């Protein structure tokens, strides 16, 4: 009687596991950061809504800062620039790619300035509303989001500097534009910045509904 040899067929594994194995490590890290960010903001929003619903009973004199509207419009405009990043990379247009990254940096800077003015509005409204805890929740919520935005700005500045060094060198440009890791890095950055934008829009719409 011949011994039976059992072969392990990796291809018969779970489709979910096979998809996970194909994900680039950088993308996996990005997904973990986004997931952790969602949990963090969900916790802050839960405490914020709980405070309004059960401790304030919906009675508060605080108004939403007008510059939150400006911040939302500024950040929303970055969708256009992130959508062009992939296009210019695939067409080997490093100069235009760098220009789009500079636009994202400008958007981030304007967003930072508008959020700072919004915080000044909140602090000045303390005498009118008399609720420092509610103002603290708003500053924590918007401030935490601003920290993630600053992180995205730092990454954009690093990419901007790297592409500035190679844009006049055809050989280095070819190496960069044919590098799968570089492509994955840009896709990760685009998804991260778009996540930041969508997250703030969701937060703003929630605040707009509450106030």
For 57-94, the pLDDT digits (tens) are: 656 667 888 899 999 999 999 999 999 998 898 888 89
- Are 94 and 54 a contacting pair, CB within 8 Å? no
22: confidence class by pLDDT, cuts 50, 70, 90: low
Residue 137 lies in a domain: yes
Residue 165 lies in a domain: yes
- Domain housing 141: 14-210
**Whole-angstrom Cα distance, residue 132 to residue 184?**
44
pLDDT in tens, 179-203: 888 888 898 999 999 999 999 999 9
**Whole-angstrom Cα distance, residue 133 to residue 158?**
37
| pLDDT over 50 at 50, yes or no | yes
pLDDT at 9: 46
pLDDT at 126: 62
Residue 39 lies in a domain: yes
pTM for this prediction = 0.83
Residue 194 lies in a domain: yes
Could you tell me the CATH number of the domain that includes residue 52?
1.20.120.80
What is the average pLDDT score of the chain? 84
Contacts (Cβ under 8 Å, ≥6 apart) of 61: 128, 129, 130, 131
Residue 4 lies in a domain: no
In this prediction, what percent of the chain has a pLDDT beyond 70? 83
Residue 7 lies in a domain: no
Residue linked to tokens 């235009």: 96
Residue 5 lies in a domain: no
Residue 82 lies in a domain: yes
pLDDT in tens, 141-163: 999 999 999 999 999 999 999 99
**How many domains does the chain divide into?**
1
Cα 142 from chain centre: 13
pLDDT at 129: 52
């Amino acid at each position: 009687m011949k011994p039976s040899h059992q072969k392990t067929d990796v291809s018969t594994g779970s489709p979910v596991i096979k998809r996970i194995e194909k994900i680039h490590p950088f993308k996996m890290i990005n997904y973990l950061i986004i997931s952790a960010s969602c949990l963090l903001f969900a916790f802050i929003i839960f405490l914020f809504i709980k405070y309004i619903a059960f401790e304030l009973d919906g009675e508060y004199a605080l108004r939403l800062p007008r510059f939150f509207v400006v911040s939302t419009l500024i950040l929303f405009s970055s969708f256009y620039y992130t959508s062009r990043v992939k296009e210019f990379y695939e067409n080997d247009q490093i100069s235009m790619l760098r220009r789009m990254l500079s636009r994202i940096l400008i958007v981030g800077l304007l967003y930072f300035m508008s959020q700072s003015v919004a915080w000044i509005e909140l602090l000045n409204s303390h005498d009118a509303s008399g609720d420092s805890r509610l103002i603290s929740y708003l500053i924590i919520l918007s401030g935490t989001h601003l920290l993630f935005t600053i992180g995205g700005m730092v990454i954009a500045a690093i990419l901007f500097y790297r592409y500035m060094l190679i844009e006049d060198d055809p050989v280095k440009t070819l190496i960069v534009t044919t590098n799968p890791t570089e492509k994955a890095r840009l896709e990760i950055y685009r998804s991260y910045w778009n996540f930041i934008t969508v997250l703030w829009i969701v937060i703003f719409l929630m605040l707009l509904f509450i106030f």
